[in-house]
Structure 1
Amino acid sequence: MNSILQEVTERIVERSKESRKAYLKKVEAARVKGPHREVLSCGNLAHGYAACAKNDKNILKQFNKSNIGIITSYNDMLSAHQPYEYYPQILKDAIAETGSVAQVAGGVPAMCDGVTQGQPGMDLSLLSRDVIALSSCVGLSHNMFDGALMLGICDKIVPGLVMSALAFGHLPFVFVPAGPMPTGISNSEKTRVRMLHAEGKVGREALLESESASYHSPGTCTFYGTANSNQLVVEMMGLHLPGSSFVETDSVLRTALTKAAAKQVTRITDLGTEYTPIAKIVDEKAVVNGIVSLLATGGSTNHTMHLVAMARSAGIIVNWTDFADLSNGTPLLTRIYPNGSADINQFHDAGGMAVLFRELLSADLLHNDVHTICGQGLDKYTKTPSLDDGELVWSESVTKSKDKTIIATAKLPFKPNGGLQVLQGNLGRSVMKTSSLPKGDVSFTAPAKVFESQHDLEKAFQNKELEGDFVAVVRFQGPKAIGMPELHKLTPPLAILQDRGQNVALVTDGRMSGASGKVPAAIHMTPEAIDGGLLAKVKEGDLILVDSINGKVELLVDEKELATRENAMPGLVDQERIGMGREFFGALRSNLSGAEEGACSLFTLDGVS
């Protein structure tokens, strides 16, 4: 076993000893031998199956078959989730073939960050993760179910679903992906048009035509942002069927995998012989495997919060130092946009998940003594699904990368580390994604230009006010301030200035998109400005050191001078808490923890729910 992997895992186990013990005690107390509906009164049960067909009622009365809950995040505005419209019936039919029953337990909201980027609704994006977890818990709370199928793909949806599933840790859960859309225009072409539009060289019509050629059909967007990072991490943690994450939406193989997922959950309920509750799958080793896979592929920085929150839902406490240390020991094995030109379909065609599992296992960079929805160990995940005369099979048809410009080997990686760095200093702690930086690590000192919104920086760029080297400080964007929206509009102008030869960097208590990374950005700064962070004392022209080589971010102002400064008062926060439903989220927003604790409102900081 890789020594760094082992060391980090051991300290997570030690750090989580009491919280994990409390979690497992809670799980065991919730376990019921036999079907869960057996504890319901006759009136409860009659309500629970009143709408079922006669045959399903007869099965549910007998108490010897499982009832599977379906939590769906379907809506037909979100392209990745539109295919879920027909999944409940497909899943019900497949489960009926096993003699069991399935019911839709509930639906959860699923917002599209692609639609809300730069809009007021984005302020609800991170908050929606906790709402999704709560909504899912409401659906599962009827105690009618012996297991569940979770239908979700995108940004906050999967983390929220995982968190709620772990709240019902005594039940088995299978996560059911729907696959990516076909490849549209290249990511490089999409980026080129965006940059031209930011410079005013092409109009809205050309930009819309380009964007529509990229995001063009049902299915997950094909860049490697948070949505596809979710799928990769969840499969690496053993919650998907092997190789199912990136099979295209509109394919016969996708339908076969969906049916197989439905049947698999019935095998691992407490009524069967392979009882595998999710609490048994998501342990400290599985969490480390998820982090390693994220780092090995240059995945979304949003998971420096989501994986933390997911782990804490299972009583497991991880922090950014764990991420950074694992990054130092994990080679970068993939080049998928934004840290390469390939999209997720090309990654899949090059060997995809099976090859990634093989490479990481060969380098002893994964714990193989883990449980999955398919049994113990990860060997099954090194195989590729296909159809043989209509039958779903897994084989060793792909054992090595078909395109080493997209998937490298562990012996000859693209970079020796995973490209995620923790920066800390008097400003606090933050993370930086270095895997996508054109020149790798950076270290420079420059004067601060201070903003309170991405829109203000965009205006300054349009007015040609961003001359010379500088560090953009965009503050009052954190969880407690306005819900920590992704600051998508910062990337094009800063990238243009960087391409012109200026040294630019970003320091913010906000988030950047899972598809960002070209500009050096110390993001998720904690403590945030509104919560006593030193960011609130930064003034225009103050020198700031941004140093990813040595992991430093420092405000170079004398301590005596800082002691005399008052914290700046946020000028825009109040107005950004009103409208588009944002006023209803005040209580949730004010209870969010810091970014390093998962930016979550659902548990205490010791990790116990």
Structure 2
Amino acid sequence: MPLHPIVAEVTARIIARSRDARGAYLERMEAAQRSGPGRAKLSCANFAHAFAAMPDEGKAKMRNPTAPNLAIVTAYNDMLSAHQPYERFPDVIRAAAEAVGATAQVAGGVPAMCDGVTQGRPGMELSLFSRDVIAMSTGIALSHDAFDAGLMLGICDKIVPGLTMGVLAFGHLPVIFVPGGPMTSGLSNAEKARVRGLYAEGKVSREELLDSEMKSYHGPGTCTFYGTANTNQMMMEMTGLHLPGAAFVHPNTPLRDALTAAAAHRAVEIIGEGQAYTPMAQVVDEKALVNAMVGLMATGGSTNHTLHMVAIARAAGVLIDWSDFDDLSKVVPLLVRVYPNGSEDVNAFQAAGGMAFVIRQLLDAGLAHDDVVTVAGGGLRSYQREPFLEEGRLVWREGPTTSLNLDILRPVSDPFQPEGGLRLMEGGLGRAVMKTSAVKAEHLVIQAPARVFDDQDELLAAFQRGELTGDFVAVVRFQGPRANGMPELHSLTPTLVLLLERGQKVALVTDGRMSGASGKAPAAIHVTPEAAGGGVLSRVQDGDMILVDALAGRLDIQVDPDVLAARPAARGPDHASGFGRELFGWMRRSAGPAEAGASVLFEEIT
């Protein structure tokens, strides 16, 4: 099947737009490769420091300049379910490396915080910036220049984007991402949502809510809804940075351990000394990033990736923007319904055919590029295979050619929606994005008076007082990166959905984030320019008529422009200190706009 003309057009304009930045990036990576392995350049004293704590057998291998040394950068901690399994991974990787004559060292650790823990709390204001801290931490880990390839152990929201941004600065090295996998399924998503709604109305106790949540989040692995963490895993498959089919295998299983060991073996095969040399800089290119965006649309993934993919692309010298997402969304059909876009979880998605089926469908329809470099070798077609154990040996077989559950996973010929469900919104309030894949058709257009809040807690308090009556557009501002670090506003979701279910027409407009929590309630998010950066949001007042039209992609305020310009800009709440926020003041001041990735790093990277 020839490439779809819109996919071809978007790819071509990204290549043209990125020519200078991408060229400069590749020159840096080629120069780093030409300089040779870092270990060969270390003085004896420096080199001895690098493996002083190794056992004698490891030291003997490290003395051999041709024996590969793998860097492990890990996001392990035992507080968070998704990262707790990584405690075991370095031992598995070391043993696998030793079996093929290599060594492996934990080069460094990166922070891993959980938006699920910090939702609605001050710590959430550090979440997005933790991505750039992770990128810098990855750079520090690899700065010892003693490695031939890298294995990245990270899985959740900001961790995978941060690791990717950081290790792209060392793109002359082969790099494989090693996921941990999802937890087993717990309480159904429908029941979890029902209890949350009852709690928002005050009809169940906190103890009953906690019992429900503990049945949902109950063991090791990522949360099983299709939020940012699991969207990350889709993205790694679509960009060819995982081994095929690695994304959704449960932790602490023989197959997961086999895939982890295989990642170490493959990393050794693709280092610079071998015939199959595959530097990360060749893997993450314009076509791979288009594939990731296509995957986002086809699976109805997290809106956080309209920030993260932009920042990752810039780390590789590639310039993408929301218009690219919007154009792709219009031609890529929605093939997947997983909670919050459906009732089932990622385990059901995997059982129905998973990423192998999605990738086959996209390639067969000409919606993705096969001619890309991947860590597995070959093009994207190799990712329509699935891993299995045969008598203890890891093998890959062709994935299913038909969906095993049409309520979850559909072919391109019979999609859930003809479009991907992500829409660029433009107008008098600025530019924003909206995830429409879970929004009912009758909620896609609303024109109603504004109710303005400078804090999500203000909206929740107004709801508790019974003040949120009638139709309205909730404007929750001063939630952008420069204001307070751009926290997710997940806590608003149950309340907004409840109002919809009562028959009110409501929508959210914000310069903050909603992430994978974007669901039934229409939400124009990531509004740029943000209120703290002089955006029109800072001049909106209660009662102003707001149009949120996802069908036409319009986000307008129906106030005379001269009247609007004459209004003084509101000032947001003080978020300068407390809970570590004082440490991030320079990042708030330096953060770029949301459409450029909301990063403090991108100017230096590109």
> What is the identity, as a one-letter code, of the residue corresponding to 1:395?
R
Q: 1:308 aligns with which of 310, 317, 324?
A: 310
* Larger CA deviation: 29-38 vs 76-85: 29-38
> What is the identity, as a one-letter code, of the residue corresponding to 1:71?
V
Task: Decide whether the 8 Å contact of 2:182 with 2:221 is kept in 1.
Answer: yes
Residues 446-468 of structure 1 show CA distances to partners (whole Å, capped at 9, x for unaligned) of: 00000011111000001010010
- What's the offset of the Cα at 1:444? 2.2
Q: Distance in 2 between matches of 1:97 and 1:577?
A: 51
> What is the identity, as a one-letter code, of the residue corresponding to 1:595?
A
Report SS of the residue matched to 1:366: coil
Q: Distance in 1 between matches of 2:172 and 2:512?
A: 36
Task: Decide whether the 8 Å contact of 2:153 with 2:179 is kept in 1.
Answer: yes
Report SS of the residue matched to 1:329: coil
- Pairwise mapping of residues 65-464 of structure 1 onto structure 2 (< 5 A)? 65-396=67-398, 398-439=400-441, 442-464=444-466
Task: Decide whether the 8 Å contact of 1:81 with 1:153 is kept in 2.
Answer: yes
Query: What corresponds to 2:552 in structure 1?
Result: 550
Report SS of the residue matched to 1:309: helix
Q: Distance in 2 between matches of 1:423 and 1:61?
A: 58
Query: What corresponds to 2:577 in structure 1?
Result: 578
Task: Decide whether the 8 Å contact of 1:434 with 1:441 is kept in 2.
Answer: no
- What's the offset of the Cα at 1:376? 2.4
Determine whether 1:41 maps to 2:43. yes
- What's the offset of the Cα at 1:608? 4.4
Q: Distance in 2 between matches of 1:8 and 1:379?
A: 21
- What's the offset of the Cα at 1:441? 6.2
Report SS of the residue matched to 1:46: helix
Q: Distance in 2 between matches of 1:33 and 1:272?
A: 16
Residues 7-58 of structure 1 show CA distances to partners (whole Å, capped at 9, x for unaligned) of: 0000000000100001001111111465320011111101111111111111
TM-score for the superposition, normalised by structure 2 = 0.99
Report SS of the residue matched to 2:124: helix
* Cα 1:190/1:60, change in 2 over 3 Å: same
* Cα 1:69/1:548, change in 2 over 3 Å: same
Task: Decide whether the 8 Å contact of 1:113 with 1:125 is kept in 2.
Answer: yes
Query: What corresponds to 2:532 in structure 1?
Result: 530
* Larger CA deviation: 127-136 vs 374-383: 374-383
Q: Distance in 2 between matches of 1:512 and 1:126?
A: 12
Query: What corresponds to 1:588 in structure 2?
Result: 587
Q: Distance in 2 between matches of 1:510 and 1:378?
A: 34
* Cα 1:583/1:24, change in 2 over 3 Å: same
Query: What corresponds to 1:22 in structure 2?
Result: 24
Report SS of the residue matched to 1:71: strand
Task: Decide whether the 8 Å contact of 1:22 with 1:608 is kept in 2.
Answer: no
* Cα 1:494/1:441, change in 2 over 3 Å: closer
Determine whether 1:564 maps to 2:566. yes
* Cα 1:2/1:151, change in 2 over 3 Å: same
* Larger CA deviation: 507-516 vs 238-247: 507-516
* Larger CA deviation: 477-486 vs 398-407: 398-407
Query: What corresponds to 2:8 in structure 1?
Result: 6
Task: Decide whether the 8 Å contact of 1:34 with 1:271 is kept in 2.
Answer: no
Aligned length: 604
Task: Decide whether the 8 Å contact of 2:125 with 2:484 is kept in 1.
Answer: yes
* Larger CA deviation: 290-299 vs 486-495: 486-495
Residues 250-279 of structure 1 show CA distances to partners (whole Å, capped at 9, x for unaligned) of: 311111111101111111110222100000
- What's the offset of the Cα at 1:399? 2.5
Q: Distance in 2 between matches of 1:34 and 1:301?
A: 40
Report SS of the residue matched to 2:341: coil
Residues 463-486 of structure 1 show CA distances to partners (whole Å, capped at 9, x for unaligned) of: 010010000000001000000000
Q: Distance in 1 between matches of 2:566 and 2:65?
A: 71
Task: Decide whether the 8 Å contact of 1:472 with 1:505 is kept in 2.
Answer: yes
- Pairwise mapping of residues 502-517 of structure 1 onto structure 2 (< 5 A)? 502-517=504-519
Residues 406-436 of structure 1 show CA distances to partners (whole Å, capped at 9, x for unaligned) of: 1100111110000000001111000000001
- What's the offset of the Cα at 1:438? 2.5
Q: 2:468 aligns with which of 461, 466, 476?
A: 466
Q: What residue ranges of structure 2 are gaps of 5+ in the alignment? A: none
- What's the offset of the Cα at 1:437? 0.5
> What is the identity, as a one-letter code, of the residue corresponding to 1:535?
L
Q: Distance in 1 between matches of 2:48 and 2:428?
A: 61
Q: What residue ranges of structure 1 are gaps of 5+ in the alignment? A: none
Percentage of matched positions with identical amino acids: 57
Query: What corresponds to 2:599 in structure 1?
Result: 600
Task: Decide whether the 8 Å contact of 2:446 with 2:507 is kept in 1.
Answer: no
Q: Distance in 1 between matches of 2:35 and 2:602?
A: 28
Q: Distance in 2 between matches of 1:171 and 1:353?
A: 26
Report SS of the residue matched to 1:384: strand
* Larger CA deviation: 507-516 vs 321-330: 507-516
Query: What corresponds to 1:492 in structure 2?
Result: 494
Q: Distance in 2 between matches of 1:209 and 1:441?
A: 32
Query: What corresponds to 1:539 in structure 2?
Result: 541
Residues 350-386 of structure 1 show CA distances to partners (whole Å, capped at 9, x for unaligned) of: 1111111111111111100000001121222111110
Q: Distance in 2 between matches of 1:440 and 1:90?
A: 52
